[in-house]
Homo-oligomer: A and B are copies of this chain.
Amino acid sequence: MTRITIAKGDGIGPEIMDATLSILNAAGAALVYDEIEVGEKVYLSGNTSGIASASWDTIRQNKVFLKAPITTPQGGGYKSLNVTTRKFLGLYSNVRPCLALSPYVATKHPAMDVVIIRENEEDLYAGIEHQQTDEVVQCLKLISRPGCEKIIRYAFEYARAFGRKKVTCFTKDNIMKQSDGLFHKVFDEIAVEYPEIENEHWIIDIGAAKLADTPEAFDVIVTLNLYGDVLSDVAAQIAGSVGMAGSANIGESCAMFEAIHGSAPRRAGQDMANPSGLLQGAIMMLQHIGQNNVAEKIQNAWLKTIEDGIHTYDIYVEGVSTQKVGTKAFAAA
């Protein structure tokens, strides 16, 4: 039995978490859950971090955290819990597989199979901003050599472990010669240690265009935090739906698993949402803690459900899908 921390989050969070847990339990995952409260309620109780300090202890003790999407209230003072968690636990690597499941899920890019590995602690996400004068605001982008080394090495190790052929680096180092330039330079340094893996670099503008147009040209992509944020939503969406992609946030000692999408408050409580993103996060979690058999069992059942055309509204396409189902029915299938 592995003890993990879970948080049901806000909006559609509780529904997709319940669906995911029911699947984990049905598949016989050897898990014990410690549930913590995070997100909107905690924020609105006056805690601007969105999480109580006792909850950090639980997360750190269990080391593995499965988190549903949360809502950060509008307005100043509230810190994004996603970002806080990544930094606080040193979750430097954000892994986001984006795989087309054609012909079962409609996509214009049937041959797509891209994994985006996103730096998760630095860049403009440092959140260092200040108003310099009445009319000018500054925001600081921070890039460190150890930060670049960790994530780029992770990407090459990932490619090696999963038998992937190419790692592509995206930066804008024709403009940000020192900051993005450092990332590119470290990429070139580390790439030579992996001679069996092809490596290449694209400037982010034309690279993103190529990804949106011809995603099958890419395999593993490693990039800075903000670029990775944008590219992973683009890649997941054109592969089928942002609702289908999970995300693993990996650190030296802890790891957090989640869906890449948000809490979609407008869809909440309607038994509509696609639980696939969080479920994909849970599958990566099972692999992470070594429960590979259960992971495979769930992945196969999930694939079969998708292939049978049993689809939630977001991927429902007349002619491709056979049945339009809600969250619960999807999980049951």
Contacts and interface: CB of A to CB of B under 8 A. Distances in A.
A303 to B, nearest CB: 22
Contact of A178 (B125, B131, B135): B131
B182 A209 contact: no
A291 interface: no
Contacts of A209: 233-234, 236-238, 242
Interface in A231-249: 232-234, 236-238, 242
A24 to B, nearest CB: 27
Given A206-B233, A212-B234, A234-B208, A136 B129 contact: no
Nearest to A215: B212
Nearest to A77: B177
A307 interface: no
Interface in A217-234: 226, 229-230, 232-234
Contacts of A108: 108
A124 B175 contact: yes
A179 B138 contact: yes
A72 B208 CA distance: 21
Interface string A104-140: 0000100000000000000011010111001111111
Nearest to A145: B135
A159 to B, nearest CB: 24
B131 A142 contact: no
Nearest to A130: B178
Nearest to A109: B108
Given A83-B175, A129-B177, A178-B130, A230 B213 contact: no
Contacts of A125: 175
A129 B183 CA distance: 14
A317 B78 CA distance: 51
A279 interface: no
A110 to B, nearest CB: 12
Given A176-B124, A212-B234, A233-B208, A141 B141 contact: yes
A140 B140 contact: yes
Max chain B CB contacts within 10 Å: which of A140, A206, A261? Answer: A206
A256 B134 CA distance: 31
A111 B262 CA distance: 28
Contacts of A34: none
Contact of A210 (B179, B232, B237, B262): B237
B237 A212 contact: yes
A76 interface: yes
9 contacts: A83-B175, A127-B175, A127-B176, A141-B141, A172-B226, A205-B229, A205-B232, A205-B233, A230-B230
Interface of A: 72, 76, 80, 83, 108, 124-125, 127, 129-131, 134-146, 172, 174-179, 182, 204-206, 208-210, 212-213, 226, 229-230, 232-234, 236-238, 242, 261-262
